[in-house]
Amino acid sequence: MGDAEAAHIPVMLDRIVRLLSPALSAPGAVVVDATLGLGGHSEALLSAHPGLRLVGVDRDPSALARSERRLAPFSDRTDFVHAVYDDVPGVLDDLGIAEVQGVLLDLGVSSPQLDEADRGFAYSYDAPLDMRMDRTQARTAADVVNTYSAAELARILRVYGEERFAGRVAQAIVRARAGAPIDSTRRLADLVRDAIPAATRRTGGNPAKRTFQALRIEVNAELAILERTLPAAVSRLAVGGRIAVLSYHSLEDRITKRALAALATDTTPPDLPVPLPDRQPELRLLTRGAESPPEEENVRNPRAASARLRAAERIREP
């Protein structure tokens, strides 16, 4: 493995393996890692289940290449596909797979994307303002920053970044770009810092964090894709199959909670005396609320601290 793969610490690895394993033990079982990244979770699942087949999906071609190297010892049991994770049904159709026993979604930005300066995800490096998870797509963060109206910028900063000073930051961006396009992470981070009141800047970490999160979500349409992905992925789970979702901020977790809860609810009208068979839950929730990493994991891997894990099991066909 290269340095990135060797240094990668998969978040909540043991817990995810324990949650998914009951569905993956039979020979011929298939698991979809729909956000493959560096393949750490998949490596553990393939090692634990010698009869398991992996379908590894990622929208980032460089992540796919790295995972393919990492998972080379399992090459007879792996398929790697460049796709966005809401296209899981199409990927499975192309592979001739009707249903799967496991689905994993590890959301958010990956460690290599953060650590490679030229990707433009991090405010700690001076780099082109890019933020594309899939660099074959056209729109970059620079396009958003330099073409969106002040109102549009304020909306995405407020909604996706939960930025209290979204209006001030948006106005600062619009004023600055009138002189010259904003095309670097350093310039944007400096603009955000200067737009936020000094008293607020003294706490809560880098003041650009929320703006960079919001831009990344907008550039990659992360929340809209997640809303489409969850029901699509569940639709291809076999009865007894399991899905696990790792979120890294409240917006992702809220969408996940809502989607899984909707499919785990008896929707029989309350005035009927008996439950209707076709209104019974499709899922059984496996986690009580959202689980967080144990403190010792947060110490070992600070990037895990914001993770929230939810999982469910398919208990009937729709």
- On whether 266 is known to bind a ligand per the annotation, the reply is no
pLDDT digits (tens, 9 = 90+) for 24-68: 999 899 999 999 999 999 999 999 999 999 999 999 998 999 999
Higher pLDDT, 203 or 190: 190
- On whether 56 is known to bind a ligand per the annotation, the reply is no
> Which of the 8 DSSP states describes residue 30?
E
Average pLDDT for 11-27: 96
Average pLDDT for 167-188: 96
Confidence at 123, pLDDT banded by 50, 70, 90: confident
pLDDT at 317 over 60: yes
In single-letter form, the type of residue at position 80 comes to F
Higher pLDDT, 311 or 275: 311
- On whether 58 is known to bind a ligand per the annotation, the reply is yes
Higher pLDDT, 120 or 146: 146
Distance CA 124, CA 115 (A): 9
- On whether 106 is known to bind a ligand per the annotation, the reply is yes
Higher pLDDT, 40 or 274: 40
Closest residue by Cα to residue 111 from 214, 6, 210: 6
- On whether 39 is known to bind a ligand per the annotation, the reply is yes
CB 267 within 8 A of CB 75: no
Q: Which stretch of 109-113, 243-247, 305-309 has the lowest confidence by average pLDDT?
A: 109-113
- On whether 40 is known to bind a ligand per the annotation, the reply is yes
For the chain, domains (ranges, CATH) are 3-106+222-314 (3.40.50.150), 119-220 (1.10.150.170)
- On whether 123 is known to bind a ligand per the annotation, the reply is no
Q: What is the pTM of this model?
A: 0.90
pLDDT at 158 over 50: yes
pLDDT value of position 4: 47
pLDDT at 277 over 70: yes
The 3-state secondary structure of the chain reads CCHHHHHCCCCCHHHHHHHHHHHHCCCCCEEEECCCCCCHHHHHHHHHCCCCEEEEEECCHHHHHHHHHHCHHHHHHEEEEECCHHHHHHHHHHHCCCCEEEEEEECCCCHHHHHCHHHCCCCCCCCECCCCCCCCCCCCHHHHHHHCCHHHHHHHHHHHCCCCCHHHHHHHHHHHHCCCCCCEHHHHHHHHHHHCCHHHHCCCCCCCHHHHHHHHHHHHCHHHHHHHHHHHHHHCEEEEEEEEEEECCHHHHHHHHHHHHHHCCCCCCCCCCCCCHHHCCCEEECCCCCECCCHHHHHHCHHHCCCEEEEEEECCCC
pLDDT value of position 244: 98
pLDDT at 198 over 90: no
Confidence at 228, pLDDT banded by 50, 70, 90: very high
